Structure 1
């Protein structure tokens, strides 16, 4: 089973956003961070999960994926495979499409304190993207 921890950070709501992703496969740990563009904080959480599944689809096809997030809205939406929020619908559809690459994907809500590494990656990426020192 592949453990995937995701988090997003936003500067404003909506605002510039970034994702932090930790992928654990036995003793191997990968860390990734991505600028996501301008999203609300909830949309950014979905985009972080999409990026994580996209990373895993080529490297771990057919595997069981456990996605852990501190976003209750994202986890509940993905668990139920349903949303009434029009903005979340295309994001849900993208996740459902990516899920087909794996034997099973499940989502688990975790408290923020258990998601510190992904949170730090997202915040660091967001800060670096907004730094005037960047070329």
Structure 2
């Protein structure tokens, strides 16, 4: 099982955004920062999960995935498998499609202070938009 910490950030709402992904696999840690373009903060949070699932599908295809996010909105939408928000619906559907490639996919909410690695990476990714 691997632990996958995700965070999305936007500089403005909407504004330049980024996804941070921190993965713990045994004694190894992996760090990823992806610029996302102009998005709202909530959209960036969803895209961070999507990006992480796509990454895991490529790099860790046989793993059990235990995701962690400090976005209650994202965790609630994924756990319920439902949203009325039309902007978030295609993002939820993409998450469900990507998660279906794994035997087990779990997501849980964690406090911001436990997500500092992914937070730092998401903020770094915002600056990569400008490069």
- Using the alignment, how far apart are the partners of 1:102 and 1:63 within structure 2? 7
Give the superposed CA RMSD.
1.1
Q: Stretches of 4+ moved more than 2 A in 1?
A: 127-130
- Answer yes or no: is the 8 Å Cα contact 1:62–1:101 preserved in 2: no
Please, which runs of 5 or more residues in structure 2 have no aligned partner? none
Post-superposition shift, 1:100?
1.3
Q: Secondary structure at the match of 2:62?
A: coil
Q: Which residue of 1 aligns with 2:99?
A: 99
Instruction: Give 1:61's aligned residue.
Output: 61
Distance of 1:62 and 1:17 partners within structure 2? 30
Q: Name whichever of 62-71 and 44-53 sits farther off.
A: 62-71
Query: What aligned pairs does 1:93-132 form with structure 2 within 5 A after superposition?
Result: 93-130=93-130
* Aligned-residue offset at 1:14: 0.9
Asked if structure 1 preserves the Cα contact closer than 8 Å seen for 2:35 and 2:128, the reply is no
TM-score (ref. length: structure 2):
0.95
Partner of 2:31: 31
Q: Which moved more, 1:117-126 or 1:58-67?
A: 58-67
Mark the runs of 5 or more structure 1 residues left unpaired by the alignment.
none
SS at 2:36 equivalent: strand
Partners in 2 of 1:14 and 1:58 — Cα distance? 29
Q: Which residue of 1 aligns with 2:10?
A: 10
Paired residue secondary structure (1:12): coil
Give the aligned length. 131
Q: CA offsets, 1:49-80, max 9 Å, x none?
A: 00000000122223210110000000000011
Q: Equivalent residue for 2:70?
A: 70
